[in-house]
Amino acid sequence: MPSQSDILHKHPVSGTIVEEWIIPARGYAAFHMKKGQVLRFVDIEGKQVPDLVCFNAQDLGEAINMGNSLLINKRREFIKGNVIYSIRCRPMMTITDYSNALSYSYGPMCSEEVNRIRYGVPNTPNCRGNLAMALGPWGFNYRDIPNAFVPFMNVEVDGNGTMEIREPTSVPQLREHEAAFGMDGIGDAPPAAHLVLSPQPR
C-alpha cells in the first residue's frame, strides 16, 4: 500500500515546496503565506474536507468574507479563476487549480452550538473550535473566526432550496483530491487549514 508521502507527492508541482504538513483528521495548522505563494490541499485518505480561513497579517481584522466573494464572483459554487475576497472586498486568494471541483462557500462552518442543535450531541469537536485553537497564537478567539471556504465539501441543494451534506467524492490515490490557491496582493496573510472527518453525522 502506498505511504502517505507517496500519495502526497504522486502528482508533482512546479516551483519549490516551502513546507508540508500531514494533518490528521480533526487536526489543524496555521501558517504565514506571501503574495505569489500557492497553498495546495491533498486529500490523502479520501472523503475529507479542509476548512480554510485567512487574514491580512498587517491588519488581522481583515479576513476572508464569503458573502462578498459570492456576490463579486456571481457564483454559489466557485470555479478555477474565482477570487476569495476580504471583508473590505480586496482579493486575498485565487483558486488556481483543482482536480475535484466540489466546494462549499455559502454557509457557516460546524461549531459546538450548531452540532448540538443538528445532532443533539453536546461538546463535539468542531471546525470553529479547531480554527480558534490554530489561530490562538495570533490572538484570535472562538468568536473571531469567519466563515470558511471548504474545498471538496459536497452539499446538495434541491429544487425547494433544502440543503443536505453528502459524503465527499474525493478518492484516495487518484487525482481527484487536490485543490490549489494562490495568495493575492494585500500582503502576507496567516491562513488556517482544518481537516475534519467526513462523512459528517446526519
Across the strands, what pairs with 40? 180
Every domain of the chain and the residues it spans: 31-197
The pLDDT, as a whole number, for residue 121 is: 93
In degrees, to the nearest 5, what angle opens at C-alpha 51 toward C-alphas 50 and 57?
A: 120
> What is the rounded distance in angstroms from the CA atom of residue 127 to the CA atom of residue 109?
6
| Whole-prediction pTM | 0.84
Distance from the Cα of residue 156 to its chain's centroid: 18
The pLDDT, as a whole number, for residue 145 is: 93
The pLDDT, as a whole number, for residue 183 is: 66
The pLDDT, as a whole number, for residue 172 is: 65
pLDDT in tens, the chain (202 residues): 677 777 777 777 778 888 888 888 888 888 888 888 888 888 888 888 889 999 988 889 999 999 999 999 999 999 999 999 999 999 999 998 888 888 999 988 999 999 999 999 999 999 999 999 999 999 999 999 999 999 989 999 999 999 998 998 887 654 445 566 666 655 455 555 443 322 233 2
**CB count, 10 Å around CB of 125?**
13
**CB count, 10 Å around CB of 54?**
25
Which triple of cell numbers denotes residue 192?
A: 488556517
Distance from the Cα of residue 42 to its chain's centroid: 12
In degrees, to the nearest 5, what angle opens at C-alpha 94 toward C-alphas 150 and 148?
A: 25
